[in-house]
């Protein structure tokens, strides 16, 4: 993806670059899009690693799962990976194509599953359903603000883009913390 400036390559090119047979690619992945999603998951996997590294013992440093996941999202540079992935997935416009949207949703869904598992381990006293709903709401919100961030910044990887992202993330977290019963 780095060499081609995005996900604009064929299975034959990938197989040649990896020095494997084309069939080997399909032994591990159902489609080329699955390869791209795997790369995206690896790039965004730092969020889960940040959560896992944030404390040695479950429940020792943040009182709630929301605090934990929020700290992981804020403590991870998501702008760099999101800007890279936007370019890698062929996003040059301010709106993603249906293919890009599908791959971003798949990537964030898999990331959410990993966040649920890590958060559940760190908060064994919290009902797992509560953690699933919390992470689901946060990740759905992240998908929404990712689109807004892309539209506002062109998916740039710079200080101004990071400032926009931080503001959108703060707004999302505060809305989830406060709920929707009364407008903020």
| Confidence class for position 145, pLDDT limits 50, 70, 90 | very high
Angle, helices 65-74 vs 98-122, to 10°: value is 130
Q: Bigger pLDDT: 81 or 130?
A: 130
CA distances from 27 to 30, 31, 34, 36, 38 (A): 8, 10, 12, 15, 14
| 23-41 average pLDDT score | 72
Region 123-140: mean pLDDT is 95
**Spatial distance between the Cα atoms of 112 and 106, rounded to a whole number of angstroms:** 10
CB 103 within 8 A of CB 40: yes
| Alpha carbons 16 and 39: distance in angstroms, whole number | 18
Backbone CA torsion sign across 77, 81, 82, 83: positive
Segment 60-78 mean pLDDT? 81
Q: Which residue has the higher pLDDT, 36 or 1?
A: 36
Find the range with the poorest average confidence among 2-11, 122-131, 153-162: 2-11
Q: Is 113 exposed, middle or buried (0-12, 13-18, 19+ CB in 10 A)?
A: middle
Distances in whole angstroms, Cα of residue 3 to Cα of each of 6, 50, 129, 140? 8, 28, 42, 31
pLDDT over 70, % of the chain = 74
Q: What is the mean pLDDT of residues 67-77?
A: 84
The whole-number average pLDDT for the span 45-63 is 60
Q: Mean pLDDT over residues 10-18, rounded? A: 72
User: Is the per-residue pLDDT at 158 higher than 70?
Assistant: yes
Mean pLDDT of 140-147: 92
Mean pLDDT in residue range 4-30: 70
Separation CA 99–CA 66 (nearest Å): 31
Query: Is residue 91's pLDDT more than 50?
Result: yes
């Amino acid at each position: 993806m780095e060499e081609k400036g995005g996900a604009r390559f064929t299975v034959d090119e990938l197989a040649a670059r990896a020095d494997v047979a084309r069939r080997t690619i399909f032994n591990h992945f159902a489609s080329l899009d699955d390869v791209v999603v795997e790369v995206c998951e690896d790039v965004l996997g730092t969020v889960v690693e940040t959560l896992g590294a944030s404390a040695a013992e479950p429940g020792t440093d943040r009182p709630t799962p929301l605090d934990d996941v929020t700290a992981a999202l804020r403590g991870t540079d998501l702008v760099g990976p999101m800007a890279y992935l936007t370019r890698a997935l062929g996003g040059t416009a301010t709106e993603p194509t249906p293919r890009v949207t599908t791959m971003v949703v798949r990537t964030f869904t898999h990331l959410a599953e990993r966040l649920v598992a890590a958060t559940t381990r760190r908060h064994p006293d919290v009902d797992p359903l509560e953690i699933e709903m919390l992470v689901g709401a946060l990740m759905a919100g992240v998908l929404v603000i990712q689109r807004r961030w892309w539209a506002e910044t062109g998916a740039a990887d710079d200080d101004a883009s990071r400032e926009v992202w931080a503001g959108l993330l703060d707004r999302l977290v505060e809305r989830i913390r406060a709920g929707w019963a009364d407008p903020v």
